[in-house]
A = this chain, B = another copy of it.
Amino acid sequence: MILTVTLNTALDITYRVPALTPHASHRVTEVTERPGGKGLNVARVLAALGHDVTVAGFAGGDTGRSLHERLAEAPHLTDALTPVDGATRRTLAVVDSATGDTTQLNEPGPLISPAEWAAFLDSYEELTRRPGTAAVALCGSLPPGVPVGAYALLVRAARAAGVPVLLDTSGEPLRRGVAARPDMVKPNADELAELTGSHEPSRATRDARRRGAHAVIASLGAEGLLAVTPDGSWQAAPPVRVHGNPTGAGDSAVAGLLSALAEDLPWPDRLARAVALSAATVAAPVAGEFDRATYEDVLGRVTVRGDG
């Protein structure tokens, strides 16, 4: 079982409108909803790959109830979300049917109380110590009320339980989390620059390792991944530039890294899978889903160069 943590879960809602005009009234032609937040997106891709996944984090209110209902319908997914008094936030994407452009409106999310945070920690501790837990992913931003050092605490608990842990966040939570020595971090170029002060990926990646991460896998958009690990360094790139919607490509890369780790694959295979899943997510018509045919086509054609 792989455990994904999403402290700032969301109900992702997509509205399709003919064209968004400020200060006008719009009839929404299509409404779709699904569980959201980075860790839940990672979990969906892992489940689609056939891995058993347990999702931890918070859910509350009527939007939280929607989350529970949808997770219950999904195969391979176990819902271990901790109940909270506040309502899970909605994140709304308004898509112009004509242009395909998206306008995003994100609610702030509920305030997590100290008692709710403590209940989550108990549940997390128990889940990481279960015999079948193969890896943990800690994903996304922190909701109000959760201490900024939260990820450092969660990284240490996973390491104490002997479970490999991947951290995918940004800003101060990333800075503090890295110092707790996670097995992997997967920053994008902006997050890496914010962490290290360097815009030069190879230098910044090495710097991020010095700050505590055992392996740094930097996602460089269409150019693929740059990995600096205890076993060597690699660059993995897709065979062609894939056009489409990059939303969720980073979450798919995390799912690729974790699933390949759980299957005990070597680094080049992990990176190839992460790159292929990212490309297949960009190519998919629905944001955050991956296109299986593209995945299988790209997987064998990813270039992995390195010194491992």
Contacts and interface: CB of A to CB of B under 8 A. Distances in A.
Interface of A: 15, 17, 20-29, 31, 62-63, 65-66, 69, 92, 94, 96, 101-108
A107 B27 CA distance: 6
A31 B86 CA distance: 13
Contacts of A25: 103-104, 106
B92 A22 contact: no
Contact of A22 (B15, B69, B101, B107): B101
A27 B108 contact: yes
A24 B63 contact: no
Contact of A23 (B27, B65, B101): B101
A22 B22 contact: yes
11 contacts: A15-B105, A21-B103, A22-B101, A23-B103, A25-B104, A27-B106, A28-B105, A28-B107, A29-B108, A62-B63, A94-B105
Contacts of A102: 23
Contact of A103 (B22, B62, B66, B69): B22
A246 to B, nearest CB: 13
Contact of A28 (B24, B28, B66, B106): B106
